[in-house]
Amino acid sequence: MLPYETVEQILQYSFKDRQILQEALTHRSYLNESTHSDASYERLEFLGDSLLNFFVALELYSSHPNLQEGELSTLRAKLVSREACSFYCSQINLICYIRIAKGELASIERSKEGIMADLYESILGAIFMDGGMEEAKSFFRRTATHHFEHLQKSSKKDFKALLQDYTLRTQKKLPSYETLFEEGPEHQKSFLVAVFVDTQEAGRGRGSTKKQAEQAAAMEAVLYHGWQDEQTKARL
């Protein structure tokens, strides 16, 4: 049984039709195992993707009156990217409520970033369908807009260097990286990398190169675990 009230508390929104919330949290693989669900989150994700693009465009248009169309488009691309949506989702910890087939549980780890991005967009779409434009916009502002400045800056930062600097100063340890998964043809590779600190996994990241995946893993470790002292924050 889906813990509706718990999820609604996290979202700070109460659904009038909880069937929509259930759909928003249902991976398509779950439909093969359940006789009680006949829809996955894919249609809501499609809707949420369009809403997110609109809300981000509106926010950037209002907050950056001096930027030209090309600059606004570049910023929007960063703020609606898979990495950004995954980050928004990670901050409210929705992934643990996803309904997914038991045989697909391993795919959560291999494709965690993509699944979290899909989940954020599907929830945004679900709130719009249940409560309308203003409720969807409020959810977007609660969960995304206050991360904009940070995400715009973080795309230019060397998080591997930041993580190494922090762990050396605070723990006298060097982080290490391990490639967990590699897929795709030679010209379109995808890598999943984990970063470890003192033998403990601290973060995971995906990228089209090992270097990109390591940067993504280091970013998750620094931001998710709050590994930022004053010296590290000064460089973010």
Q: What is the pLDDT of residues 165-209, one digit of tens each?
A: 989 988 888 999 999 988 878 767 788 899 999 889 998 888 778
Residues designated as active site? 49, 121
Better pLDDT: 163 or 81:
163
Residue 160 to residue 157: CA distance in whole angstroms: 9
Query: Given this model, what pLDDT does residue 20 score?
Result: 97
Long-range pairs, 129-137, Cβ under 8 A, ≥24: 129/20, 129/44, 129/47, 130/15, 130/16, 130/17, 130/20, 130/21, 131/13, 131/15, 131/16, 135/13, 136/51, 136/55, 137/55
Q: What is the sign of the dihedral through the CA atoms of 182, 192, 121 and 160?
A: negative
**Average pLDDT in the chain:** 85
Where is average pLDDT lowest: 52-66, 90-104, 110-124, 144-158?
A: 144-158
Q: Can you say how many angstroms the Cα of residue 212 is from the centroid of all Cα atoms in its chain?
A: 16
The CATH number of the domain covering residues in 4-154: 1.10.1520.10
Where are the domains positioned within the chain? 4-154, 159-233
Mean per-residue pLDDT for 133-162? 84
Question: pLDDT digits over 86-115, tens only?
Answer: 889 988 888 888 888 876 666 666 667 788
Asked whether the beta carbons of 3 and 65 are under 8 A apart, the reply is no
- Please say whether the dihedral angle defined by the alpha carbons of residues 84, 118, 80 and 123, taken in this order, is positive or negative: negative
CATH class of the region 159-233: alpha beta
Output the pLDDT for position 209: 84
Phi, psi for residue 144 in degrees, rounded to 5: -125, -45
Average pLDDT of span 46-66: 95
Tell me how far apart the alpha carbons of residues 119 and 45 are, in angstroms, rounded to a whole number: 7
Distance between CA 63 and CA 29 in Å, rounded? 40
Structure confidence at residue 74 as a pLDDT band (50, 70, 90): confident
Q: What is the pLDDT of residue 118?
A: 93
Residue 178 is which amino acid? E
pLDDT at 109: 60
In the Cβ-directed half-sphere of 15, how many Cα atoms lie within 13 Å? 24
pTM over 0.85: no
Give the phi and the psi of residue 86 in degrees, each rounded to 5: -60, -40
Within 10 angstroms of residue 103's Cβ, the number of other Cβ atoms is: 10
Residue 156, pLDDT score: 59
State the Cα–Cα distance between residues 232 and 226, nearest whole angstrom.
10
